[in-house]
């Protein structure tokens, strides 16, 4: 099975090539030329397997040029109890009848990015070997906070690879920042960029296809790849947990085989929810995919109107991993929903680049609105939701997950649809301790407390344990201090690689 570019101007490549290149040479995203399918018998069989085996099955369907030992050898070192704090890897917690939370944050960095970034380095290493690549790989990452740390943990000290992470200097939580600037490893670089995530992402994205920079790299025996969700190798592992959650609930008798569910996904770059879309295409009985946004509600507007307009105020919120106005992976959805009309996608993406705006045709919008639903919540609603979920269910959620829960309630109230719902819980509440402490303890209690005293206070109030990845961050030395302007990203890359 080959992978083709959503913009139709690059030739189709193998899965190994697609993972190695990260982004297609024409600036488009790689997508599988056809989507495999899993029938009822396949689901029955998967239900009897553990997370790692389910992952091997699903990855195997998409990565056709990887053999079984290559797939098994990639998932085994990723999904195990050395790396994840829960043997189920992605456990599902039931708060009430028909209300479930899929916890995607038991990995080393306490957010859902670990689900893919623990396995991606293993896939990429094998992709290099399979394609006869001898160049050193340079992973460039733009992060809104969580991807950067997860990629650093995944790629640190991997032979033949170097990783450079750019994060918005004014756009990440203190915990996220500390996780990154204290990163250890001999092949890691972490740089703050003045501006927001969109500035950082756009600045990094152009370097991948910049002919001059690539020529210099090539001369030094190096090449770029991406660990952002534009890389297919990031997306395919995310499809696994949609199946896994469903099958776990089926095994527990919470769902009958074939019964429809809704997934609610706190969304930024549209990577997580897109994996849910692919899961549905494969045959998972998903009724609606509910896209939950914060005040940066560009996707809510798009799903409602068919107009994508990034010309709007950018807000910094307490759910910073969703503070994004250019959702890269939407391009893949539009490709599928236009029956793979690359010329049209290319046109819309050019409009987005040039004017910050595009409008899809009525038929495409109808298909989007048929499957997706979206709403957004503001900061107060997010804090209220953290408080309410703790009060009503004794269940503690982080602000991103709280956005999901609040939008889930709005969906039910608006549509009356009472299909069972699985909310993807994307971060540990301890990772966003400021917002969670604010909601639970109140502002007065927070005064004069350090980040780490807040962690302790939260643990004391809730009886929950502080995850190991966060507990001792204040004792680690800061190893990365560089701050640059967006215009200097290419220069910074070349300087590191000189
Ligand atoms: C990355 C992230 C999101 C957004 O996911 P996308 O795939 O970018 O839509 C939501 N919540 C958390 C905690 C994240 O780290």
Please identify which residue in the block is written with the tokens 């190893």.
479
Mean pLDDT of 245-254: 98
Contact 430, 470 (CB under 8 A): yes
State the distance from the centre of ligand 1 to the C-alpha of 321, rounded, in angstroms.
5
- 52 CB neighbour count, 10 Å cutoff: 16
Q: Is 68 exposed, middle or buried (0-12, 13-18, 19+ CB in 10 A)?
A: exposed
- What pLDDT is attached to residue 446? 83
- What pLDDT is attached to residue 406? 98
C-alpha span between 34 and 358 (Å, rounded)? 27
Pairing mode, strands 307-309 and 357-359: antiparallel
Please identify which residue in the block is written with the tokens 């534009």.
230
DSSP 213: H
| Positive/negative CA dihedral, 183, 109, 81, 465 | positive
Ligand 1 contact, 426 CB (< 6 A): yes
Over 90: is that where the pLDDT of 56 sits?
yes
- What pLDDT is attached to residue 347? 98
The residue whose CB lies within 8 Å of the most ligand 1 atoms, and thus the one to mutate among 267, 401, 433, is: 267
| Nearest one of 439, 442, 420, 415 to 429, comparing CA atoms | 439
- 81 CB neighbour count, 10 Å cutoff: 11
Half-sphere exposure of 442 (CA within 13 A, CB side): 2
Ligand 1 contact, 271 CB (< 6 A): yes
Angle at 111 between CA 106 and CA 117, to 5 degrees: 90
- What pLDDT is attached to residue 478? 96
Angle at 299 between CA 295 and CA 301, to 5 degrees: 85
Read off the pTM: 0.95
C-alpha span between 222 and 224 (Å, rounded)? 7
% of the chain exceeding 70 in pLDDT = 100
pLDDT in tens, 77-120: 999 999 999 999 999 999 999 999 999 999 999 999 999 999 99
DSSP 166: E
Split at pLDDT 50, 70, 90, the class of 308 is very high
DSSP 431: G
Catalytic residue among 20, 113, 125, 130: 113
Ligand 1 contact, 269 CB (< 6 A): yes
Q: Which atom of ligand 1 is nearest to the CA of 145?
A: 15
pLDDT in tens, 399-458: 999 999 999 999 999 999 999 999 999 999 999 999 999 999 988 888 888 889 999 999
- What pLDDT is attached to residue 445? 81
Domain residue spans in the chain? Answer: 92-111+233-431
Split at pLDDT 50, 70, 90, the class of 173 is confident
State the distance from the centre of ligand 1 to the C-alpha of 432, rounded, in angstroms.
13
Over 90: is that where the pLDDT of 69 sits?
yes
- DSSP codes of every residue in 153-182: HHHTT-TTEEEEEEEETTSS-HHHHHHHHT
Split at pLDDT 50, 70, 90, the class of 228 is confident
Ligand 1 contact, 201 CB (< 6 A): no
Contact 270, 280 (CB under 8 A): no
Let me know if 405 is a catalytic residue.
Answer: no
State the distance from the centre of ligand 1 to the C-alpha of 109, rounded, in angstroms.
13
Please provide residue 137's backbone torsions phi and psi, each rounded to the nearest 5 degrees: -90, 135
Just give the CATH number of 92-111+233-431. Answer: 3.40.50.1100
Residue nearest atom 1 in ligand 1 by C-alpha distance: 321
Strand segments (E) across 388-431: 421-425
% of the chain exceeding 90 in pLDDT = 85
Q: Which atom of ligand 1 is nearest to the CA of 238?
A: 7
DSSP 464: P
- What pLDDT is attached to residue 443? 85
Over 90: is that where the pLDDT of 205 sits?
no
């Amino acid at each position: 099975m080959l992978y083709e570019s959503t913009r139709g101007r690059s030739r189709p490549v193998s899965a190994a090539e697609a993972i190695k290149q990260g982004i297609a040479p024409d600036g488009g995203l790689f997508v599988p030329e056809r989507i495999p399918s899993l029938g009822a018998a396949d689901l029955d069989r998967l239900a009897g397997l553990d997370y790692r085996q389910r992952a091997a099955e699903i990855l195997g369907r998409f990565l056709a040029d990887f053999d079984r030992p290559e797939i098994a050898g990639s998932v085994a070192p990723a999904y195990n109890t050395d790396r994840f704090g829960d043997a189920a890897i992605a456990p599902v917690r039931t708060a009430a009848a028909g209300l479930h939370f899929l916890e995607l944050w038991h990995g080393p960095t306490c957010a859902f990015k670990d689900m893919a970034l623990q396995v991606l380095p293993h896939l990429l290493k094998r992709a290099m070997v399979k394609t006869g690549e001898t160049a050193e790989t340079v992973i460039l990452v733009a992060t809104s906070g969580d991807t950067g740390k997860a990629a650093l943990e995944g790629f640190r000290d991997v032979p033949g690879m170097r990783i450079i992470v750019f994060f918005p200097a004014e756009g990440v939580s203190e915990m996220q920042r500390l996780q990154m600037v204290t990163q250890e490893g001999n092949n890691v670089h972490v740089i703050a960029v003045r501006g927001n995530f969109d500035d950082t992402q756009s600045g990094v994205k152009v370097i991948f296809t910049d002919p001059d920079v690539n020529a210099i790299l090539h001369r030094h025996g190096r090449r770029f790849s991406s660990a952002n969700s534009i890389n297919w190798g990031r997306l395919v592992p995310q499809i696994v947990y949609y199946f896994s959650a469903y099958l776990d609930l089926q095994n527990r008798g919470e769902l009958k085989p074939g019964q429809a569910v809704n997934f609610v996904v706190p969304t930024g770059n549209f990577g997580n929810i897109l994996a849910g879309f692919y899961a549905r295409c494969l045959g998972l009985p998903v009724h609606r995919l509910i896209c939950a946004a914060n005040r940066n509600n560009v996707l809510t507007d798009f799903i409602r109107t068919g107009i994508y307009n990034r010309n709007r105020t950018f807000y910094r919120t307490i759910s910073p991993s969703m503070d994004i106005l250019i959702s890269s992976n939407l391009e893949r959805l539009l490709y599928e929903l236009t029956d793979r009309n690359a010329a049209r996608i290319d046109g819309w993406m050019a409009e987005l680049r040039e004017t910050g705006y595009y409008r899809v045709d009525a038929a495409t919008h109808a298909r989007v609105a048929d499957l997706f639903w979206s709403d957004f919540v503001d900061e107060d609603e997010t804090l209220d939701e953290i408080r309410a979920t703790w009060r009503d269910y004794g269940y503690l959620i982080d602000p991103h997950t709280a956005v999901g829960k609040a939008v889930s309630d709005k969906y039910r109230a608006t549509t009356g649809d009472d299909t069972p719902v699985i909310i993807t819980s994307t971060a540990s509440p301890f990772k966003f301790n400021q917002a969670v402490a604010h909601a639970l303890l109140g502002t007065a209690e927070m005064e004069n407390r350090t980040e780490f005293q807040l962690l302790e206070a939260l643990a004391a109030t809730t009886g929950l344990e502080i995850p190991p990845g966060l507990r001792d961050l204040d004792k680690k030395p800061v190893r990365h201090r560089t701050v640059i302007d967006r215009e200097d990203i290419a220069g910074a890359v070349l300087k590191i690689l000189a």
